[in-house]
Amino acid sequence: MPEQPATLLIVDDEAHVLKLLSLVLNNQGYRTLTASSGEQALAMVEQDPPDLILLDVMMPGMDGYQVASRLKSSKITANIPIIMLTSLSEHTAKLAGLETGAEEYLSKPVSTTELWLRVRNLLRLKAFGDYLKSRSLIIEEQLQQRTIDLERFRSAMDASDDSIFLINRTTMTLVEFNRTASLVMGYPPNELLQLSPAELSDASLEELEVLYDQLIAGKAPVEPVESRIRCKDGHHVPVEIHRQAYKTGADWIIVGIVRDITHRKEAEQRLLKMAHYDTLTGLPNRNLFYTTLQMGLTQAAINNWQLAVVTVDLDDFKMINETWGHLIGDQMLIELSQRLSHSLDVSDTLGRMNGDEFAMILMVREGQPSIIRMIDRVRDMLQKPYKLNGHEASMTASLGIALYPDDGDEAQNLVKHAHTAMHRAKQVGRNTYRFYTAQMNTELLERQEMETALRQAVQDEDFQLFYQPKIKLSDGSVCGLEALLRWPRPGLPNVSPAVFVPMLESLGLISRVGQWVITSVCKQISRWQHAGLPPLEVAVNVSGQQIIKGDLITDISNALKDSQIEPRWLELELTESSLMENTAHTIASLHRLRAIGVKISIDDFGTGYSSLAYLRKFPIDKLKIDIAFVREVTSNPQDAAITRTIIELAHSLNLQVIAEGIETKEQWALLTEQGCDHGQGYLFSKPLPLAELEVLLREQQWVERTAQKKG
């Protein structure tokens, strides 16, 4: 090998490319020359031939193909290796470059590591070729006599980290190899020299002969190919082989540069596992599950089997994470995956779809247990207590089942249908399973259509507020109003708030709508006061999400400031269940609101937690007795006792009491007798649109109407 650094000529019409490639190659110890056109490059090569040429394809005037053809057609420059550079991605462009005789082909932008490796390998091959050609007569004689002295050549090869083999095509024997080859394969040099190329690879001798002949004829791929080499102890090493053929006398020598790619293959396997398997449980992930399901469907169709897709979703798993933390939650998911795996047959498949949702593929052959028996076995396995880091916890799951071929023959549809059935199982009480039916799909489509319409309504603020009066039970006078959200849909059936409000919560839109309600109510209170109507408290229902995920305090503060009304005219109604969510944050938020003068009321009291400890902690002004107790207060002694207890409890805590759903004079009378402060219901008025409500308020008809009803 020459002691002086190799000279590389870089040909490109773009100055920044010349500068960048020169810098990269200079850093590797090479001497670089540059030319900005094909004509200039040919002139420089004629004057001082370089050791290797990096040649851009697309250049004005003479392009790279023409330059390469000129160089390869000349005996003087034909042996100079050429690496074509281009940003073209078409296969034909690559073939055109190789057709001109170029040895390598790189796509722009060029990887610096790949560039260096290709340059290094081509320079080595050229050095070997130059050496072989200059010594061809000597080599021919020495090869025949087996007395060749290649110490200088061996020194060059032994400096390489790659294994290098020289093979005589005529005899199909090893001529030479470097120290790395001996070390990697575990053979002493004298043993390795006795082996044929076929004994070291996966290919037969005949296959190698065909490959070498193609290489000699210039028809073999010039890119490195992946293969395996067989070591002395019998194990195989994955390698990347770059081969080149050189003629020496009457023989052809095949030079093979072999790179160990074990670490690269291991990294690829890790990436493959990450792409197809869940990192927590080791189960197939969603992508691999779908692939396996599609294969299972093909197998089921061929054998006329039934196949079941079962989705499994834990009930209230969120509580485990919130109570004990995500590490304990992860332990539960790992144990759950193990239990599910043990409950399946070897032909079945389990995958983790996401979070706490798993899915199973059950192959049902003739004579096997029914689907229901298999599902019951899974459920029994799931319901056993979990022991997690010293804690014992029980957990149930909801399952949805879709069958092939009854419910579909495509993987996507079957999983979708099983998922729909699983959600129905949750709706009917959880800890159960449901088979998919076509009606579920109809209901799902209707829900999706409603969700789409609801999103548009939120975007357009296409809602309306009705107001239901609250009255003072002792004299029938108006003491306040409750603002109730309505969703007008011209030409379509009305949707109850009991339907669309939970949907807003599930879509994460309730805070945005709640902000609109608060702003609208505050503006309306301001209008009434400026119009001379008597000021009234207006209650607004607030979702727990507005406190936890929204910015309720800012929304209310901005609305009060913009409308310029006193906070005491705004009342917030929250359910007991919403108060229990993120309790510390909720208590702090309500204290801040009450401090500025906003009233706080508990809605539907008696149906939730009803904890005296929480009543004492929360800053509450009023309790609202749920309609479930008011409806039969005059006919059911237990309901009457409950309402009386709630009233006495509230008064002992200096809280006012409101009864909702009053529909008869008898209910009014009994609640008044029990000391209930306020009430609302159809006996007094249904929820009214703004225009009708203002008529009642302006004409002062309210007291007269309620007095007549009470009399």
For 560, the token pair is 């009060």
pLDDT at 600: 93
pLDDT at 2: 45
Element (H, E) at 552: helix 552-563
pLDDT at 623: 92
Q: Phi then psi for 73, rounded to 5 degrees?
A: -85, -10
Rounded distance, CA 440 to CA 451, Å? 16
Rounded distance, CA 184 to CA 163, Å? 8
Give the SS3 label for residue 32. Answer: strand
| CATH value at residue 113 | 3.40.50.2300
DSSP state of 568: G
**Helices 64-73 and 38-47: angle between axes, nearest 10 degrees:** 30
Are residues 546 and 474 both part of a single domain?
yes
Are residues 59 and 204 both part of a single domain?
no
Tokens 């000349």 -> residue: 74
Q: Is residue 129 part of a domain?
A: no
Are residues 139 and 261 both part of a single domain?
yes
pLDDT at 282: 87
Are residues 371 and 288 both part of a single domain?
yes
| CATH value at residue 478 | 3.20.20.450
Are residues 207 and 327 both part of a single domain?
no
Q: Which of 231, 265, 299 is the last residue of a domain?
A: 265
pLDDT at 608: 56
Q: Is residue 37 part of a domain?
A: yes
Residues 142 and 135 sit within 8 Å (Cβ to Cβ): no
Residues 655 and 612 sit within 8 Å (Cβ to Cβ): no
| CATH value at residue 164 | 3.30.450.20
Are residues 13 and 113 both part of a single domain?
yes
pLDDT at 79: 86
Are residues 291 and 427 both part of a single domain?
yes
For 604, the token pair is 């539907």
Are residues 209 and 333 both part of a single domain?
no
Are residues 421 and 379 both part of a single domain?
yes
Are residues 202 and 295 both part of a single domain?
no
Q: Is residue 494 part of a domain?
A: no
Cα 61 to chain centroid distance, Å, stands at 50
Query: Of 694, 283, 287, nearest to 527 (Cα)?
Result: 694
For 78, the token pair is 């034909």
Q: Which domain, by its residues, includes 380?
A: 277-436
Q: Phi then psi for 304, rounded to 5 degrees?
A: 60, 40
Rounded distance, CA 554 to CA 545, Å? 14
Measure Cα distances from 587 to 372, 465, 478, 616, 622 in Å. 47, 28, 30, 11, 16
Query: Of 217, 250, 243, nearest to 164 (Cα)?
Result: 243
| CATH value at residue 347 | 3.30.70.270
Rounded distance, CA 26 to CA 8, Å? 10
In 249-356, at which residue ranges do the beta strands (DSSP E only) sit? 251-260, 306-314, 349-354
- Given a cut of 50, the residues of the chain with pLDDT beneath it are 1-2, 137, 139, 143-150, 610, 701-707, 711
Are residues 44 and 181 both part of a single domain?
no
Q: Is residue 69 part of a domain?
A: yes
Q: Which of 235, 265, 295 is the last residue of a domain?
A: 265
Q: Tell me: the pLDDT tens digits for 173-214?
A: 888 888 888 888 888 888 888 888 888 888 888 888 888 888
pLDDT at 425: 87
Domain count, the chain: 4
Measure Cα distances from 77 to 84, 170, 431, 458 in Å. 16, 28, 80, 74
Rounded distance, CA 502 to CA 505, Å? 5
Measured CA angle at 36 (ends 35, 39), to 5 deg: 80
Element (H, E) at 505: helix 497-506
Q: Is residue 526 part of a domain?
A: yes
Are residues 109 and 257 both part of a single domain?
no
Q: Which of 265, 291, 321 is the last residue of a domain?
A: 265
Residues 647 and 676 sit within 8 Å (Cβ to Cβ): yes
Q: Is residue 511 part of a domain?
A: no
Tell me the β-bridge partners of 510. Answer: none
Q: Is residue 323 part of a domain?
A: yes
Q: Is residue 457 part of a domain?
A: no
Identify whether 81 is preceded by a cis peptide bond (ω within 30 of 0).
Answer: no
